[in-house]
Amino acid sequence: MASRLLTIGLIPGDGIGKEVIPAGRRVLEALPSALGLKFKFVDLNAGWESFERTGAALPEETHKRLRAECEGALFGAVSSPTNRVQGYSSPIVALRKKLDLYANVRPVKTPVKTAGKAIDMVIVRENTEDLYVKEETIKDTPEGQVAEAIKRISQRASHRIATMAGEIALRRQKLRAAGNPSIHKSPLVTITHKSNVLSLTDGLFRTTAREALSAAKFVQGGVKFDEQIVDSMVYKLFRQPEFYDVIVAPNLYGDILSDGAAALVGSLGLVPSANVGESFVIGEPCHGSAPDIAGQNIANPIATIRSAALMLEFLGLEDAAAVIYAAVDANLEEGKLLSPDLGGTAKTNEVVEDIIKRF
């Protein structure tokens, strides 16, 4: 069988990104040869340290080489300042806009087979607009300073993110039909919004998402949809997480829900994501740069390893992704080599090697 060569950009960023991105590379390199994949890696810079060193959080070379040379990428983490710094903006937010990576896809599932209420959902977050357009102003008034931010919701972005959610629900249903025991729900997309207060912006998201999910391919595929106001969504997510299949939300709500959902499965160190566009995908672990543990070889690499698998999945390489998912699940189910965030004592490299030996 002829091999396929994939060129993948590696952007470690800051903190533990410099440890988990090499772990993701190591796993990709170790995939069985029978899968017919070979990898070429392009090392690229971005992040707070890059900004301090060069004045650019996202160097133009990084963006250009991703576009010109790579089919996908892995992004580690960024140590963004909490206070405003002149000239600095998040490089991952910039990449999402520059590469039109309009969907942030975050699977959340229980780490081992669970009797009864197993959690197995995917949160699909719109990735390009909402408050993340970062159009803010501040002005002086007789009552003091007033700051304002633009919340932008478009019909186009809402339609394509809801369509992505429906397509993910269809794909999960096909896995159920094939007898995959890890996916046990009926296909359901839950639209999350706050249109009872934000009747124009969230109202547009709600109505557009409902229209998109009413398409014939979803109806014929058995995909149903419902909706939740975001505050009740948070409550129900924690009270009955086993109920949910696919959740679709505007940018801000999706960000909050997906980080909160990570608490349901033990650790942010387990939760992957993929920034997905029409022609490019970036795998990105959901955790931050964790400067308190950086350089200690104790960071959990599983979120990055799963993000690498998710990247492969959206590049159409489901078989290779399945090999990685199965190996990670086996590591977690056995439970002998777990990183400290999961109550274990294993080092980052030990977890990586244990997963690789299960290929």
Strand partners, 145: 140
CA distance 304 to 73: 11
- Which pLDDT band holds residue 118 (cuts at 50, 70, 90)? confident
Q: Which fold has domain 112-265?
A: Isopropylmalate Dehydrogenase (3.40.718)
Q: How many residues does the chain have?
A: 359
- β-strand partners of 115: none
CATH superfamily of 1-111+268-359: Isopropylmalate Dehydrogenase (3.40.718.10)
The answer to whether 303 and 271 have CB atoms below 8 angstroms apart is: yes
- The per-residue pLDDT for range 294-324, each reduced to its tens digit, is 999 999 999 999 999 999 999 999 889 989 9
Interval 151-177: pLDDT, tens? 999 999 999 999 999 999 998 887 766
Q: What is the mean pLDDT of the chain?
A: 92
pLDDT in tens, 329-350: 999 989 899 999 989 999 999 9
Residues 63-117: tens digit of each pLDDT: 999 999 999 999 999 988 778 888 898 899 899 989 999 999 999 988 655 445 6
CA 337 to chain centre: 24
Angle at 318 between CA 358 and CA 335, to 5 degrees: 30
pLDDT reported for residue 172: 86
DSSP element (H, E) containing 68: helix 60-69
Chain position carrying tokens 């209420």? 117
pLDDT in tens, 7-20: 999 999 999 999 99
Q: Where in the chain are the domains? A: 1-111+268-359, 112-265
**Hunting for tokens 């009552």 — which residue is that?**
143
Is the pLDDT at 251 greater than 60, yes or no? yes
Portion of the chain with pLDDT greater than 70, in percent: 95
The tens digit of pLDDT for each residue in 2-52 reads 789 999 999 999 999 999 999 999 999 999 999 999 999 999 999 999 999
